[in-house]
Amino acid sequence: MVKVLDAHALLAFFEKEPGYEKVQAAFVNAVEMNLFLLITTINLGEIYYIVERECGQKKAEEIEDIIRTLPIEIIDVDIIITKQAARFKARHKISYADCFAAALTKIRKGELLTGDREFEKLKNEIKINWI
């Protein structure tokens, strides 16, 4: 099954917050199966701005470089993903960036790896694998 990451999951992995082991196991599994986990450019941007705000631009660039070594495919957002994200945003109180992770999950018929409880509102629309 396709696995999609949101910013929360990757930040938990980098900061070794609760649930990071589940993200780490997903990376190991992806390598063993020769697969990639997916993340949208929007969610990657979310990680970048959070790290830059908290730790500076140099650290944000280091994190981006590390992400590019992981079994992650960065998905450019197109009109199909954007419209699905907009539908989620129109119907639910959820951050716009999170709507893109949810949209990619729905479109690719995957499961979202996250610990962000904001996604609880979408549990009937997408499959969620809680970290």
* CA–CA dist 120, 125 (Å, integer): 10
pLDDT classification of 96: cutoffs 50, 70, 90: very high
Backbone angles phi, psi at 79, to 5 degrees: -65, -30
Q: What is the mean pLDDT of residues 104-131?
A: 97
Task: Supply the pTM of this predicted model.
Answer: 0.96
Tens-place pLDDT, residues 4-43? 999 999 999 999 999 999 999 999 999 999 999 999 999 9
Question: What single-letter DSSP state applies at residue 82?
Answer: H
* CA–CA dist 11, 34 (Å, integer): 23
Give the domains, in start order, of the chain with CATH numbers. Answer: 3-130 (3.40.50.1010)
